[in-house]
Amino acid sequence: MSVRELSIEQVQRWVVSFLILAVASFPLGALAAVSHTIVDEDRRSDAILLMVVMAALGVLALAAIRLVHRRPPVSPWLACGLLPAVVTALVVL
């Protein structure tokens, strides 16, 4: 088993990546909760708009993480940023 040592710069990139993920997760959770609440109030179109905002925020967070790691921001991995919105849509609608 080989152990790969990380440079200080690589560790800093990973820390910033986790911070971006954590900071983006809080609004995503809040938007999911609000979507659930407003669907119960028969405001389905507003909930759909919030899910679009969730999808955009998720994709932007993953693009930012890719930029931190000096990778091209556009990649198939950005589809993972849509997951919170899709899961919310499946649960709420």
pLDDT of the chain, 93 residues: tens digit per residue: 677 888 999 999 999 999 999 999 999 999 999 998 998 888 899 999 999 999 999 999 999 999 999 999 999 999 999 999 999 999 988
36-42 long-range contacts (CB < 8 A, ≥24 apart) are 36/88, 36/91, 36/92, 39/92, 39/93
